[in-house]
């Protein structure tokens, strides 16, 4: 009944003012698609999410949607419950970069790139993921299109233009393979929300990771998120690849931990103290109007994997990358894993061409450690919802996450040397339990951690 009412409202009201109709104007009738599939009844709550990013060109030898479907058991066994697919849409080749063009140069917002498969393939993937209790998010590129998108010729006024009337690339970015959209244009907003809605209706997807969300007007995101959340009777996850406080105001569940990642790099490359991560955490949450919201944090993603390096390159090989992931995953955050990092994959993964991950090189020990880290997070209310307090030293990232019934202490040596950690009075003299072994452990005034050792204690 709720869906029937909302769909009628969606059809009768202007998309640009989804929550109200203007009786003084002719109603703008939104395209009403028939809903494919049924609502996903086991959607993770925002704080329960473990996000797994899939680069379609790398995830399987075939580089297809079906290639993802064939490896869903791998993602499930890792412990992820949200699959985030990088853009699936046809890629524009005019002014393109790389062999196959950037997937963030969208030629058609309402089609599946034949390189990856078909709409039926996507539907099948989503259905199978739902059967395995995993949600599916699509990457949405709202800020710009390719230069051969049909909108360029049909609706040039939907784009930003220079003084001579020439459509421009996104200012100040160097992204010359794409054209900047103009969100002052009401008709563009309607078309973009229609395109986003298309995938919810036609593929039954469960949310969006919104690329370069800081570049798009917040009033648009408010309209779009309201429309998306009203389509089907289930929660939808919305991730802003951005840092603005008002992303939460307009309905996003998450922002992106850009600052945290940059400080992580400095800890390893410049010898910055581990305590600087506390400052980065505080800085990111100073932009958060509601302490219940969370920042998505990562030790790699599709961008930094190419430009900066793999976690093994950046964070001290396999041991250091795990010690770093523990901090990123547990410090008042929602973790995101980029395909390959969970097996200790050493190669960088470009996304402008077809570069399949060699899964035969998987390090089973690294994978098992990722599983343990993720499994504990999934079962710890303190990690997911608790109050954060920092106790870090120069070498050791140390903090607690605490609820009324559980306290978790994280100690992670982010150096390649033994590190003595002076235990604060607030933490010493207590009996703790190792989260992974269930053995009891008493903290005295000092503890020594070996290079890149991490200890997770609970009580």
Dihedral Cα 195, 197, 201, 202, nearest 10 deg: 20
Residue keyed to tokens 């196959």? 100
Alpha carbon distance 186, 180 (integer Å): 15
Bridge-partner residues for 94, per DSSP?
Answer: none
* Domains of the chain (ranges, CATH numbers): 37-385 (3.20.20.80), 396-458 (2.60.40.1180)
Tokens of 169: 């690339």
pTM (2 decimals)? 0.93
Tens-level pLDDT at each residue, the chain (459 residues): 334 434 434 443 434 334 334 434 343 444 469 999 999 999 999 999 999 999 999 999 999 999 999 999 999 999 999 999 999 999 999 999 989 999 999 999 999 999 999 999 999 999 999 999 999 999 999 999 999 999 999 999 999 999 999 999 999 999 999 999 999 999 999 999 999 999 999 999 999 999 999 999 999 999 999 999 999 999 999 999 999 888 999 999 999 999 999 999 999 999 999 999 999 999 999 877 677 789 999 999 999 999 999 999 999 999 999 999 999 999 999 999 999 999 999 999 999 999 999 999 999 999 999 999 999 999 999 999 999 999 999 999 999 999 999 999 999 999 999 999 999 999 998 789 999 999 999 999 999 999 999 999 999
């Amino acid at each position: 009944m709720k869906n029937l009412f909302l769909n009628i409202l969606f059809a009768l009201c202007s998309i640009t003012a989804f929550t109200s109709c203007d009786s003084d104007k002719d109603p703008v009738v939104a395209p009403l698609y028939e809903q494919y599939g049924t609502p996903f009844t086991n959607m993770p709550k925002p704080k329960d999410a473990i996000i797994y990013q899939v680069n379609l060109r790398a995830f399987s030898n075939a580089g297809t949607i079906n290639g993802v479907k064939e490896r869903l058991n791998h993602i499930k066994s890792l412990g992820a419950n949200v699959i985030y697919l990088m853009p699936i849409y046809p890629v524009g080749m005019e002014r393109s970069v790389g062999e196959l063009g950037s997937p963030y140069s969208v030629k058609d917002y309402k089609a599946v790139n034949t390189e990856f498969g078909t709409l039926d393939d996507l539907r099948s993937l989503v259905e199978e993921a739902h059967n395995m209790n995993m949600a599916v998010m699509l990457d949405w590129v709202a800020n710009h299109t390719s230069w051969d998108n049909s909108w360029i010729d049909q609706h040039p006024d939907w784009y930003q233009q220079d003084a001579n009337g020439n459509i421009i690339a996104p200012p100040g970015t160097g992204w010359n393979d794409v054209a900047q959209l103009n969100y002052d244009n009401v008709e563009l907003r309607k078309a973009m929300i229609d395109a986003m809605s298309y995938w919810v209706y036609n593929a039954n997807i469960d949310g969006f990771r919104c690329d370069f969300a800081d570049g798009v007007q917040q009033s648009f995101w408010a309209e779009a998120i309201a429309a998306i959340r009203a389509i089907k009777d289930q929660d939808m996850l919305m991730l802003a690849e951005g840092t603005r406080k008002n992303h939460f105001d307009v309905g996003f569940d998450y922002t992106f931990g850009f600052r945290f990642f940059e400080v992580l790099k400095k800890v390893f490359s410049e010898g910055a103290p581990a305590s600087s991560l506390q400052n980065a955490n505080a800085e990111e949450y100073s932009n958060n109007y509601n302490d219940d919201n969370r920042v998505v944090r990562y030790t790699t993603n599709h961008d930094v994997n190419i430009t900066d390096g793999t976690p093994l390159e950046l964070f001290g090989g396999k041991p250091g990358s795990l010690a770093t992931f523990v901090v990123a995953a547990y410090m008042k955050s929602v973790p995101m894993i980029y395909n390959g990092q969970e097996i200790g994959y050493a190669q960088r993964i470009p996304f402008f061409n077809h570069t399949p991950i060699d899964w035969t090189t998987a390090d089973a020990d690294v994978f098992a450690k990722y599983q343990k880290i993720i499994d504990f997070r999934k079962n710890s209310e303190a990690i997911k919802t608790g109050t954060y307090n920092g106790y870090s030293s120069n070498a050791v990232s140390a903090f607690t996450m605490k609820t009324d019934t559980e306290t978790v202490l994280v100690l992670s040596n982010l150096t390649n040397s033994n590190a003595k950690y002076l235990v604060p009075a607030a933490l010493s003299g207590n009996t703790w339990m190792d989260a992974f072994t269930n053995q009891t452990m008493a903290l005295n005034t000092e503890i020594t951690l070996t290079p890149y050792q991490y200890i997770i204690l609970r009580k």
